[in-house]
Structure 1
Amino acid sequence: MPLQQLSDIWTRVRSRSDPGSLLLPSAAGDPHSPPDILRSSNDITHEVREVSAHPVKYGGSSDIYSATWQRGRHNQKVALKIHRVLDASDQKAIKRLRREISVWKRLEHPNVNAMCGLFLGLGVVPAMVSLWCEEGDISRYLKVRSGDPNIGEIKTTLMIQVANGLKYLHQHDIIHGDIKGANVLVGDDGTAKLCDFGFSILLAQHSQSFTQGSNVKGTCRWMAPELFDEEGAAHTFASDIWATGCLLIEIQCAVLPYHTKISDQQVILALSQSELPPRPKDMPDALWRLVMQCCSAQPPARASLETILFHLQESHAYVRLTRMMTASGGLEPTPNSVLARIKEGLVHSAKEDPTLYSRLFTLPDSASYGDASRLRRYRKRSLRARGQWIHAGLHERVTSAGGGSTPRKS
């Protein structure tokens, strides 16, 4: 591809005709003005203390300050995010930012980073206050735990949580628009939380950080190819799915998407030619098939979030159930043939009860699948009996834990 053509593609992506709100028209097309973000229910300036003198972190379009939020007798460390808007006269950008903030304030999901309120006095627009995540982003969190014997289960758990958070956003007609490892924080309890949805693209034409370069720098590796195809291309639910597939690569293999490409220009050239992300070493077959379903060149052909969750929860259920069963000592050492039977039983039972995988995902670790003698009897059961045994055992434990509905009988 000629250099000028590549330059045109780069410029086209930088200058989208309307980066605006990433809310779909059903949610963002309200002709009435959004509620004022400065109302007292959002403003917690008087409750925030000990704001750091300088930013403690820098993002592509924002600065992060640390502070303490005094909530009655309780103090919590919080992050204050300041978007670097070019100037106070850019009322269009500020109005859009206010609309996004008003939507974010109403969201509530364990896998979406909650907004605590607004802090005034650090910039042209209020700083957005959210709880501080000491663990950092998902890449840092996994790097620290790379030697954990259950790292595979930890990764799958985080993938499921990310997909659940994105499903929640999509159900509320919100397109994230910037899914990548840096925008997935991990809370103190190890829970993945999506952050920065909508804001990076929103500020692409209004932020100081983008006046010297491209708004796709560092982000193009997660962007769907159709975003490079035409002028005015907009992020969609489908482009979020593509980015999710790229994030699965990042989580599983600790490499960036298009890891064989050194520069962003090489990545953009590959995307403009509809080149799929290359498969990293040590990527499991089943997970790679799911990545390819997410990263289809045709947006309508990409996997739904329901499909993504089903496959991730299926993988998680197999790994977790095996760990739970072998922990009792009944299957130590565990022959591959027995593990294969466990998987067969899971698949059979899931056909009878499609909610099995999601319910197993929420099952507390304290649950166990019985003593060694019970597990030895399991080996000799038929396929249908094995499915019924797993199904009944799971239902018993989910019910006793206070979750799940009564499954259909096998």
Structure 2
Amino acid sequence: MGCRDTAALNDLELMLLDETADPKALPLSLLKDITNDFSNDRQIGRGGFALVYQGVLESGTVAVKRLSDMCMDEKKFHGEVQCLMKARHKNIVRFLGYCADTQGNMLSYNGKLVMADVRQRLLCFEYMSKGSLRDYISDESCGLEWRKRYQIIIGICQGLNYLHENRIVHLDLKPENVLLDDNMVPKITDFGLSRYFEERQTSQSITSNISGTLGYIAPELYDGEKITIQSDIYSLGIIIIEILTGRKGCPDVEVYLRDGVKGWENH
């Protein structure tokens, strides 16, 4: 390991011990080293646009998100890093660093060797041992006890309120993007679709291609309305209903009320 990597490794080790430390640029070689060159046995998560790997350090474990080169949007990557640099709260997954590496490689194209830029875009976070909230949404017979559900709901609300106070709209809030630590404290993650509002700005125009996850994205965005901080509230409501009922999606109101009353009568 070179001097640069050793210094970066020491910085990353210290960041795990000091929660006030600022995120840093991290070299690709270091992220390869701590994930065993992004080996399959270190893979801990998969999404439509990225793979997540476990990075092992002497002082603990981190999560390394490697964005897909096929789906990479440089503007979105910069926007995600911008939001992550501004989001520091007990209910937001802690951002440790980023890597934006571009190297020229000789590749074969139509029988000729050409020089092509190979981009690597990675993000490094604290490791969340309990996985995502999706793994814990189930019916009452095997789900979380009611007090824990209440604490998780409060934590998500506090994290989202912090984002909105800092003019960040998440735009992809769902159980898969809420992770849980050793104490089952919820932390919001995945800011790939998020938008940051400049000071005095109250809304943003949406693009023609609406992203997000069906069932959680606010319906008004499909009608061409502008993004506001209220765009996340619909998603939050669906998550709360799922936590309370143990069912994915928004159930029949009568079923929701009946199950909710029964649950609280037993506690």
TM range (shorter): 0.5 to 0.7
Q: What is the CA deviation profile of residues 87-133 of structure 1, one whole-angstrom value per residue up to 9, with x for unaligned ones?
A: 77xxxx31442243033124211100111112466972431111221
Hey, which of these two has a bigger chunk of helix by percent? 1
TM normalised by structure 2 equals 0.66
Q: State the percentage of identical aligned residues.
A: 22
The answer on whether the counterparts of 1:94 and 1:125 sit within 8 Å (CA) in structure 2 is no
Give 2:26's match in structure 1, choosing from 29, 39, 43: 43
1:78-93 counterparts in 2 under 5 A? 78-86=62-70, 93=73
Q: Which 4+ runs in 1 deviate beyond 3 A?
A: 44-48, 85-88, 119-123, 141-148, 214-217, 282-287
Instruction: Report what 1:127 is aligned to.
Output: 122
Q: What is the CA deviation profile of residues 151-204 of structure 1, one whole-angstrom value per residue up to 9, with x for unaligned ones?
A: 11110110000000000000100001011111100111210000113x1468xx
Seen in structure 2, the aligned counterparts of structure 1 residues 141 and 44 have a Cα distance that, compared at 3 Å, is farther
Listed as ranges, the gaps of 5+ residues in structure 1 are 1-39, 203-213, 260-277, 288-317, 324-410
- Equivalent position SS for 2:255: coil
Q: Say which one has the larger Rg.
A: 1
Give 2:84's match in structure 1, choosing from 94, 101, 104: 104
Seen in structure 2, the aligned counterparts of structure 1 residues 221 and 156 have a Cα distance that, compared at 3 Å, is same
Q: Does 1:188 align with 2:182?
A: yes
1:317-396 counterparts in 2 under 5 A? none
> Which residue identity does 2:34 align to in structure 1?
R
1:146-295 counterparts in 2 under 5 A? 147=142, 151-197=145-191, 199-200=192-193, 219-230=213-224, 233-258=225-250, 278-279=252-253, 281-283=255-257
The answer on whether the counterparts of 2:178 and 2:187 sit within 8 Å (CA) in structure 1 is yes
Quote the Cα distance in structure 2 between the aligned partners of 1:121 and 1:69: 22
Give 1:65's match in structure 2, choosing from 24, 30, 53: 53
> Which residue identity does 2:240 align to in structure 1?
L
> Which residue identity does 1:53 align to in structure 2?
S
CA shift for structure 1 position 81: 1.0
- Equivalent position SS for 1:109: coil
Quote the Cα distance in structure 2 between the aligned partners of 1:237 and 1:125: 31
Hey, which of these two has a bigger chunk of strand by percent? 2
Instruction: Report what 1:311 is aligned to.
Output: none
Seen in structure 2, the aligned counterparts of structure 1 residues 151 and 121 have a Cα distance that, compared at 3 Å, is same
Seen in structure 2, the aligned counterparts of structure 1 residues 284 and 194 have a Cα distance that, compared at 3 Å, is farther
- Alignment length, in residue pairs? 210
The answer on whether the counterparts of 1:111 and 1:161 sit within 8 Å (CA) in structure 2 is yes
Quote the Cα distance in structure 2 between the aligned partners of 1:69 and 1:120: 21
Seen in structure 2, the aligned counterparts of structure 1 residues 196 and 146 have a Cα distance that, compared at 3 Å, is farther
TM normalised by structure 1 equals 0.45
Instruction: Report what 2:201 is aligned to.
Output: none
Seen in structure 2, the aligned counterparts of structure 1 residues 101 and 180 have a Cα distance that, compared at 3 Å, is same
CA shift for structure 1 position 282: 4.5
